[in-house]
Amino acid sequence: MAAKTLQKDIMQYYKESQAIKDAIADAERILIITHVDPDGDALGSLTAVGLAMQQLGKSVTLAVDGGLLRRFSFLPLADQIAQSADNTTYDLIISVDCGDEQRMGHTFADLPLPRPTLINIDHHVTNTNFGSINLVDAEAASTTEILTLLFNDLDIRMTSDIAQSLLTGLVTDTLGFRTLNVTPRTFEIASQMMQAGADLPTITMLALNLKPLSTLKMWNVGLSNMRMKNGLIWTTISKAERDALGYNGTGSGGLVSMMSDVETAAISVVLNELDDGRISVSFRSRPPYNVADLAMNLGGGGHPLAAGCTLDGPLDKAETLVVDLSLQAIETANHD
């Protein structure tokens, strides 16, 4: 099979591109949404689509439940990201990096009915195809990887600002090109973004490396609570522990990835007790262990090797449930 290249083919890269092009052509006011607790791919995708739609002369609102994270304030359009939609009537919604409707949080749930056409652009294998048009490519290392190919299909001019947003999603979701889903296509796109003016050293430093001191203190607590059994390595961080450290973030991405690198670990889990008493759960694994199914069975979603869900408290009950199911998943995979 001939590999498609990033060069402009007569054929569009995605079969969904024409329907997306038509829906955009019919719209004037567009609401762009990404997921709660946004990461670099969420915010890179959000701002890249915002810039692309502005280039097409559209009026855009960028909204994310909970707003922007400070460390991503270097992104173009960052100062224009709202916490919710305004009172405008939208002709079109574009959702990026969300596996299901709930991931958009209040920003989406509070919109008046009937809702306009929704374009769902995402790379989660667990995506529920909740849009009117669904562009879901689970082989893409980031949603911004999909957007690069889509923008080519839509004849969007690649500016340095768009490239900066797109490369941010690629660098953060691949942990600096270290995840197992990185392909030649990923590097081809990264190279194209750098040639268009994206600043890789700045992205790597601001979006990937730098973190508050309180994050390391949180890891310290997490590592001292860490346990290991039959290939499962896990830890918990209670709200009381976070409060004592002055750590107000909800993420545990760095810690759960670090734990998954233990040689004898099949699955790693971090359970984080949130301010409202619910428990945010992050999963990582190495092949052949699959945490997307595990997280989806618990009402969440994600990728085969990186997934998550949110459970009801209390913490010890959630821990027991997650540990039991994770050990079962390891056991099942060991016998397949």
Which positions touch Mn ion (CB under 5 A)?
39, 41-42, 97, 143, 173
Contacts with ligand AMP: how many residues (CB under 6 A)?
15
List the single partner that 253 binds among Mn ion, ligand AMP, none, CB under 5 to 8 Å by kind.
Answer: ligand AMP
Distance CA 187, CA 331 (A): 36
List the single partner that 103 binds among ligand AMP, Mn ion, none, CB under 5 to 8 Å by kind.
Answer: ligand AMP
Q: CB of residue 309 vs ligand AMP: minimum separation in angstroms? A: 5
125 binds ligand AMP (CB under 6 A): no
Q: Which is nearer to ligand AMP, 40 or 231 (CB)?
A: 40
Q: By C-alpha distance, which of 166, 54, 87 is closest to 121?
A: 166
Q: CB of residue 123 vs Mn ion: minimum separation in angstroms? A: 6
Residue nearest to Mn ion (CB): 41
List the single partner that 153 binds among Mn ion, ligand AMP, none, CB under 5 to 8 Å by kind.
Answer: none
Q: Which is nearer to ligand AMP, 222 or 308 (CB)?
A: 308
Distance CA 181, CA 138 (A): 10
- Binding to ligand AMP in span 158-197, by CB under 6 A: none
Q: CB of residue 162 vs Mn ion: minimum separation in angstroms? A: 17
282 binds ligand AMP (CB under 6 A): yes
222 binds ligand AMP (CB under 6 A): no
- Binding to ligand AMP in span 74-113, by CB under 6 A: 99, 103
List the single partner that 41 binds among ligand AMP, Mn ion, none, CB under 5 to 8 Å by kind.
Answer: Mn ion
Residues 38, 250, 172, 68, Cα dihedral to 10°: 40
Q: Which is nearer to ligand AMP, 231 or 301 (CB)?
A: 301
Q: Which is nearer to ligand AMP, 131 or 300 (CB)?
A: 300
List the single partner that 42 binds among ligand AMP, Mn ion, none, CB under 5 to 8 Å by kind.
Answer: Mn ion
Structure tokens at 101: 């409707």
β-partners of residue 94 are: 32, 119
Residue nearest to ligand AMP (CB): 308
Q: Which is nearer to ligand AMP, 99 or 131 (CB)?
A: 99
Q: CB of residue 21 vs ligand AMP: minimum separation in angstroms? A: 27
- Binding to ligand AMP in span 293-332, by CB under 6 A: 300-303, 306-310
Q: Which residues bind ligand AMP (CB under 6 A)?
A: 99, 103, 124, 253, 256, 282, 300-303, 306-310
